[in-house]
Amino acid sequence: MKTKLSIVKIGGNIIEDEQGLSYLLELFSNMDGLKILVHGGGKKATEIGNKLGIEAKMTNGRRITDAQSLDVAIMVYGGLVSKKIVAQLQALNCNAIGMSGADGNSIVAHKRPVKEIDFGLVGDVDAVNSNNISSLLNAEFTPVFCALSHDGKGQLFNTNADTIAAELASGMSTQFETTLYYCFEKQGVLQNIDDENSVIEHIDSKKYNELLADGVIADGMLPKMHNCFQALQKNVKQVCIGDSTMLQGTTTNFTTLTL
């Protein structure tokens, strides 16, 4: 029987909310068993970039990463945000260690091919080094991954944090019974975007296709849900989407995804 592993991805709005982040990290540190945290920091990167005169370039809500923007991402994701989170977890007796995809050769990627849009130095993940990450977990470290991957040839890439979380969950599922949690400010996937209480408690493949056809899943939720179902198809046990309270294990008011 496989050991259980929880992978928790935290959204940008939580990172920006000092009180909300502290609450989530406390819940995370109290979770039983082995765990990994994944974070981005896009809003903070935009803020710091603006101060440095490096304007964020977006297309259809997705970030274009040129060389200067990548430097900002490395500083913010791998430095500022990562180290603050690690320090807060250490204060909660959670022995966290800050990681990028380059650390321990953990997440190897290639530059996204140019199709209609050149996203620049954005990485699409090729492989997760589950053996090296397992060594950290078995040594009682809690990895905290930022949204950076690498190509093994010295090049770092900006990679969407939702994707990093899904790829980690998929890669680690060869050795662990993996549950993936996406924590953001909503209580789950909503049937009606204007009704915070219209949480859809369970979505399987059939329901997912119905919600897509009806336009209930749209905009920013589309790539997130796509990542979720790809992870499920790669032996991730289940995916949970909701706010921080779902990490308590006492609430059922969130969305669970299964095949």
| pLDDT, position 252 | 79
Residue 216 lies in a domain: no
Amino acid found at 53: G
Which of 250 and 194 is assigned the larger pLDDT? 194
CA-based nearest residue to 70, from 150, 152, 165? 150
pLDDT band per the 50, 70, 90 thresholds, residue 219:
confident
Looking at the predicted structure, is the pLDDT value of residue 11 above 90?
no
Here the CATH number for the domain that contains residue 137 is 3.40.1160.10
8 Å CB contact between 5 and 137: yes
- Above 80 in pLDDT, residue 180? yes
Task: Kindly give the pairing relationship between strand 255-257 and strand 202-203.
Answer: parallel
Q: What pLDDT does residue 12 have?
A: 86
Domain membership flag for residue 132: yes
Q: In whole angstroms, how far apart are CA 217 and each of 74, 203, 212?
A: 31, 11, 5
Residue 163 domain flag: yes
Q: What residues are designated binding site for substrate?
A: 41-42, 63, 158
What integer is the mean pLDDT of 214-235? Answer: 89
Domain-located, residue 114: yes
Q: What are phi and psi of 66, to 5 degrees?
A: -90, 180
Among the residue ranges 18-22, 114-118, 203-207, 222-226, the one predicted with the least confidence is 222-226
What pLDDT, on the 0 to 100 scale, is given for residue 203? 96
Q: What are the DSSP E strand ranges found in the chain?
A: 3-10, 34-39, 57-59, 62-64, 96-99, 107-111, 123-128, 142-145, 148-150, 156-158, 176-183, 202-203, 238-242, 255-257
Percent of the chain scoring above 70 in pLDDT: 100
Is 142 strand, coil or helix? strand
Supply 118's token pair: 């050149």
Residue 228 CB neighbours (<10 A): 27
pLDDT of residue 193: 86
Top pLDDT among 92 and 223 is at 92
Q: Is the dihedral of CA 69, 126, 13, 6 positive or negative?
A: negative
> Domain range holding 120?
3-186
Query: Given this model, what pLDDT does residue 63 score?
Result: 85
Q: What is the pTM of this model?
A: 0.96
Within-domain flag for 238: no
- By C-alpha distance, which of 43, 6, 37 is closest to 24? 37
Alpha carbon distance 69, 98 (integer Å): 21
Q: What is the mean pLDDT of residues 176-201?
A: 93
The answer to whether residue 91 is domain-embedded is: yes
Average pLDDT, the chain: 95
Q: Establish if 71 belongs to a structural domain.
A: yes
Give domain status of residue 157, yes or no.
yes
Strands 156-158 vs 176-183: parallel, antiparallel or unpaired: unpaired
> pLDDT tens for residues 26-67?
999 999 999 999 999 999 999 999 999 999 988 877 789 999
Q: How many structural domains does the chain have? A: 1
Return d(Cα 84, Cα 131) in angstroms, integer: 27
Which residues are documented as binding site? 41-42, 63, 158
